Structure 1
Amino acid sequence: MSVSVEVAMTEGALARPAPLACPGAGAVVVFEGVVRRLEEGREIDALVYEAYQPMAAAELRRLAERTAAEFGLLAVRVEHSTGRVAVGEVSFRLAVASPHRGEALAALGQFIDEMKRSAPIWKAPAFRVGESDGVGARKPDGA
């Protein structure tokens, strides 16, 4: 069985995606990571993402292929932002298609946990004026 894997690194916020069409899928599950208003207990205007893009894209692909094989997925689409992403905007999206919902839901959680540990993607909060002296220290995306 052939698995469809798509990986994209995009500058800025992610646009609305096309639906993940997959014949044979009984479940298509989409997770979107949205920049929240508070980071480290303080208000922010945005998060600024940095990535070593060739390595990050390769790692996202490796994780997608491994997750697809482990959970019997039919398709995986992963998108991650780089650059500045404002509060309320989408910075990460993972869509998976599977014959059954249980595998799709389990795959989402495992992929995200692994990505946060292994992908060379970092984020730094852009604090609101008056909250700090600007952009905070970089930390791994999962921190």
Structure 2
Amino acid sequence: MNNDKKLQLFDGALPVEQITNAWYDEFRNSNYGAIITFVGVVRDEDGIEGLSFDIYEPILNSWFEAWQKKANEHNAIVLMAHSRGDVLNHTSSYIAAVCSPKRRVALELIDEFVEDFKKSAPIWKYDIKNKVRVYAQERSTKIQGAGILN
């Protein structure tokens, strides 16, 4: 699988079963002892109808490539799918996975990857309220090195 398929972007909610089944089919015979996935689901809270996402792909690609190199140092790979645009409650906007020969490596990397994603990925989140996008500033974090965009 090339890097283009390791990082996948979709318009709207993610087809979870299609993505995770494709990853499993792709890597189950690759001698990985662990394939660990994390599926993020949009929660119904604070009166929102869903979330909406904008992505700055050049920085996302660089961030993801750095993670791929880190995973490769442990003979592992990372996989990720994320939504662009609107994602309604109780559907998925984010899936991450780590494939590794060793379960401990996969468990540790998936935790680090998901946490760093929340902190560092160039994805802007909006609440959808009354069919209008409202920037979710209180749940956003500054991107390191963003300069005047902070």
Task: State the distance in 1 between where 2:139 and 2:64 align.
Answer: 13
Assess, with a 3 A threshold, how the Cα gap between structure 1 residues 91 and 120 changes in structure 2: closer, same or farther: same
- Residue 43 in structure 1 maps to residue 27 in structure 2: no
Task: State the distance in 2 between where 1:96 and 1:141 align.
Answer: 26
| Deviation for aligned residue 1:134 | 3.5
* Unaligned segments of structure 1, at least 5 residues: none
- Code of the residue aligned with 1:92 in structure 2: it is Y
Task: State the distance in 1 between where 2:2 and 2:112 align.
Answer: 18
TM-score, normalising length: structure 2: 0.76
Quote the residue 1:115 is aligned against.
117
Aligned 8 A contact 2:67 2:78 in 1: no
Identity within the alignment, %? 29
SS of 1:135's partner is strand
- Residue 72 in structure 1 maps to residue 75 in structure 2: yes
Aligned 8 A contact 1:8 1:80 in 2: yes
Assess, with a 3 A threshold, how the Cα gap between structure 1 residues 79 and 142 changes in structure 2: closer, same or farther: farther
Quote the residue 1:137 is aligned against.
135
| Deviation for aligned residue 1:91 | 0.5
SS of 1:49's partner is strand
Please list, as runs of the form range in 1=range in 2, the aligned pairs for 1:1-143 lying within 5 A after superposition.
Answer: 5=3, 6-15=6-15, 16-17=18-19, 18-20=22-24, 21-22=26-27, 23-38=30-45, 42-66=46-70, 68-73=71-76, 75-127=77-129, 129=130, 134-139=132-137
**1 or 2, which has the higher helix percentage?**
2
SS of 1:37's partner is coil
SS of 1:24's partner is coil
Task: State the distance in 2 between where 1:141 and 1:119 align.
Answer: 13
Q: Extract structure 1 runs of 4+ deviating beyond 3 A.
A: 69-72, 138-143
SS of 1:63's partner is helix
Task: State the distance in 2 between where 1:51 and 1:62 align.
Answer: 17
Aligned 8 A contact 1:48 1:84 in 2: yes
Assess, with a 3 A threshold, how the Cα gap between structure 1 residues 100 and 141 changes in structure 2: closer, same or farther: farther
Task: State the distance in 2 between where 1:50 and 1:109 align.
Answer: 24
Task: State the distance in 2 between where 1:109 and 1:142 align.
Answer: 19
TM-score, normalising length: structure 1: 0.79
Q: CA RMSD in A?
A: 2.4
| Deviation for aligned residue 1:77 | 1.3
How many pairs are equivalent?
Answer: 132
Assess, with a 3 A threshold, how the Cα gap between structure 1 residues 81 and 141 changes in structure 2: closer, same or farther: farther
Assess, with a 3 A threshold, how the Cα gap between structure 1 residues 89 and 97 changes in structure 2: closer, same or farther: same
